[in-house]
Amino acid sequence: MDSTPDPATARGGDAVHADAPPADPADLVRSWLPGEDADTLLMTVSTVDGEGYPRARTVRLTGFDGERFLFHTDARSRKVAELAADPRVALTILWPEGTRQLVVQGTACAASDEEKARAYAALPPYLKQLAWLNTAEHATLPRSERERRWADFARERPDPPQPHGWTGFAVTPHRMLFWASTGRAASRRLEYARSADGWESRHLPG
């Protein structure tokens, strides 16, 4: 008998392969997220641009409050303008080991000041500094000048406060699609769609 643990079962992916999935997808999200280190995960945020095309970029997942997925960014960024024009958004989270993926479709709204402050306080020093210096003007400078300004800023402000232009979004999902692989069966997906009566789920091929 093979005693090797199934990676999907060992790390919470068993619900995707179970015959009876959880009624609430938030339970599955919580089992997949790495506890207090949930903000170490990267996710692709896809918005709709002014010409109707999807536009994607990778950001940090800065939180999940049991209902909404949060991320934070510079208020001057293109994605902020796109979300102001059209709050529909998709989030794609791929776990580093490549055995799990979660795709979320939903609507974005501005995060609260408290949520923004909490997320900024949890950032490592590099990302706090980036929040200050990641500007269009800075990007046009020669590399030597950018490195000089970076070093000067780090020396003068080793722990910079939250900049005025740092903002965040909370995404409320209406659809979540969990994918999990397993070495003992074909991979498959578990889709949750929100209805007037709550969440409805169904299994799909992987």
Segment 65-74, tens digit of pLDDT? 999 999 999 9
Q: Which CATH superfamily is domain 7-122+163-205 in?
A: Electron Transport, Fmn-binding Protein; Chain A (2.30.110.10)
Distance CA 6, CA 181 (A): 10
Mean pLDDT in residue range 32-58:
85
Whole-number pLDDT of residue 184? 72
A 10 A CB-CB count for 184 gives: 11
Rounded to whole angstroms, what are the CA distances from 74 to 114, 124, 134?
17, 16, 8
Whole-number pLDDT of residue 2? 36
Element holding 27 (H helix, E strand): helix 25-32
49 band by pLDDT with thresholds 50, 70 and 90: very high
- The pair phi, psi for residue 114, each rounded to 5°, is -65, -45
Q: What is the DSSP string of 56-113?
A: EEEEE--EE-SS-EEEEEETTSHHHHHHHH--EEEEEEE-TTSSEEEEEEEEEEEPPH
SS3 helix, strand, coil % of the chain, rounded to 5? 30, 35, 30
Whole-number pLDDT of residue 7? 40
- Are 47 and 136 within 8 A, CB to CB? no
Distance CA 128, CA 159 (A): 7
Q: pTM of this prediction? A: 0.86
Tell whether the model's pLDDT for residue 9 goes beyond 50: no
The length of the chain, given as a count of residues = 206
Computed over every residue of the chain, the mean pLDDT equals 88
Whole-number pLDDT of residue 36? 52
- Report the Cα 38 to chain-centroid distance in Å: 9
Higher pLDDT, 98 or 64: 64
Residue range 130-179, pLDDT digits in tens: 999 989 899 999 999 999 999 999 999 999 999 998 999 999 999 999 99
Whole-number pLDDT of residue 166? 92
Whole-number pLDDT of residue 132? 95
Distance CA 199, CA 73 (A): 30
